[in-house]
Chain A
Amino acid sequence: MRSSLGLFPLRNRHSGAIEDAELFVPIDGTNLADFEQHWKPMVLDRLRQLPRGTTTTDAQLQDWHWDWRKKADRFADRLDYRSFAVECAGRTQGLMICSLVHRVREPSMLNQHLVYIEFLHSAPWNRWQFTDTPLYKGVGDLLVAAAVSLSIEEEFEGRIGLHSLPQSDDWYRDYCGMTDLGVDSAYENLRYFEMTAQQAANFGRKNPKGVAS
């Protein structure tokens, strides 16, 4: 059964207003319906509009094939995974699945536990890759803050890790302040990032969302 973790502010870039978003755990049928009825058609339209010869990597759409229903089914009832959904204005704005059984690679805390973000997705209408006028700002921040809070809740001191798609490398490194541990040849050559306990505290000061999972 899904639970609300509370209301958190998102900025509507169109109106400039701050709106209340609600964070839920886990992802449920409402979110999957939103994905299939609203997200997926936008992604497929965008793919159809790509100029001939443009790859999904060129278009920063490496995640176009993510099927959230399959992911939600696969991880349902698993204690080692936790899923989150952000809803605002009656629609799903972001989705995330985290694993709780990964270990730290960063040398100072090697082999300690962390929360590993398996998948993090903001709705296409919030992303620059899909529109010149994205709607909500702060969905990614809120989901990363939720992962940090989950890590604190599980006594992992806020440590999180993830493999980043290339279009998000700068955001995780520069905005979130995570440590770039380089390209992981064992994981599709994606860059691997970790947030230490100190970096999580810094991120929390910048994003005081206070998400309790």
Chain B
Amino acid sequence: MLERKTMTLNLQEGEMVVLDRLAERKGLTKTALIRQALRLYQSVEERLEQGQKFFFEHPVSKEKSELLVL
């Protein structure tokens, strides 16, 4: 196993509710879910830095909506 480091994370009540809900839905611990979120954030950030755009596409109408990442 690759070495891991421990940190304390402070969340607001609403953020904790969302974290709990997503972790349950995905069958992950909160730690695994946050690690997954970090991977996605880095992936999106790199692509945006390269000038790419991030879209969601409606499965039927094929209408695209750009996701604005702050």
Please list the residues of chain A having a beta carbon within 8 angstroms of any beta carbon in chain B: 3, 25, 78-80, 100-101, 112-113, 153-155, 157, 212-213
Contacts and interface: CB of A to CB of B under 8 A. Distances in A.
A78 B42 contact: yes
Interface of B is mostly: helix
Contacts of B32: 154-155
B52 to A, nearest CB: 14
| A3, A113, A155, A157 interface centre (most CB from chain B within 10 Å) | A155
B1 A113 contact: no
B26 A80 contact: no
A178 B16 CA distance: 37
Interface stretch (B6-14, B33-41, B60-68): B33-41
B69 to A, nearest CB: 15
B2 interface: yes
Contacts of B42: 78-80
A177 B42 CA distance: 33
A155 B23 CA distance: 11
Contacts, number: 37
Interface of B: 1-2, 26-29, 32, 35-36, 38-40, 42-43, 46
Nearest to B1: A212
A107 B62 CA distance: 22
A112 B28 CA distance: 10
A139 to B, nearest CB: 22
Nearest to A3: B2
A79 B38 CA distance: 8
A157 B29 CA distance: 12
A153 B1 contact: yes
Contacts of B39: 79-80, 100-101
A91 B15 CA distance: 49
Contacts of B40: 80, 101
A155 B38 CA distance: 15
A112 B43 contact: no
A78 B43 contact: yes
Given A79-B38, A157-B27, 10 more contacts: A78-B46, A79-B35, A79-B42, A79-B43, A113-B26, A113-B36, A153-B1, A154-B36, A212-B1, A213-B1
